Amino acid sequence: MSVRFAGYAAVFDRPDGGGDIIRKGAFLDSLKRAGEVPLLWQHKAGRVLGRIEHLSEDKRGLRVIARLDGGAEGRRVGALLQDGKLDGLSFGYRVREARSGPCRELVELDLVEVSLVAKPMQRLARVHAVDAAL
């Protein structure tokens, strides 16, 4: 059994815990350039959890739909998602363009990875749907 989920790894126009604000359009060029973006556990490069099936910007933020693999860690994290004990999403990036001010505005980013996390930097970056599939 695998678990599929949907949510937002980033939410536009809201400051995160570090004071950064991501602006709409920040991911557009990166998504055009990117190949497969890995789905990680807690931003750890060696801890791939599964596969991202859909990644796009919409009016709210960076929307992600992904499926966890059937390995031991994927099953463990999937159970946490299904039980509602885990719902944080985050992403790794490199800044291509930012504007300074009271909050740093992230205007263009290179997306490196998406992670399921216990505590996201952007409190609104959450999984909002979980489905167990055979």
Helices (H), 5-113: 28-33, 72-82
Q: Which two tokens stand for residue 32?
A: 């055009």
- The answer to whether 89 and 64 have CB atoms below 8 angstroms apart is yes
The answer to whether the pTM exceeds 0.95 is no
Alpha-carbon span 94 to 35, nearest angstrom: 16
Burial class of residue 15, CB neighbours in 10 A (0-12, 13-18, 19+): middle
Q: What is the pLDDT along the chain (134 residues), one digit of tens a residue?
A: 689 999 999 999 999 999 999 999 999 999 998 788 999 999 999 899 999 999 999 999 999 999 998 788 989 999 999 999 999 999 999 999 999 988 999 999 999 999 999 999 999 999 999 997 53
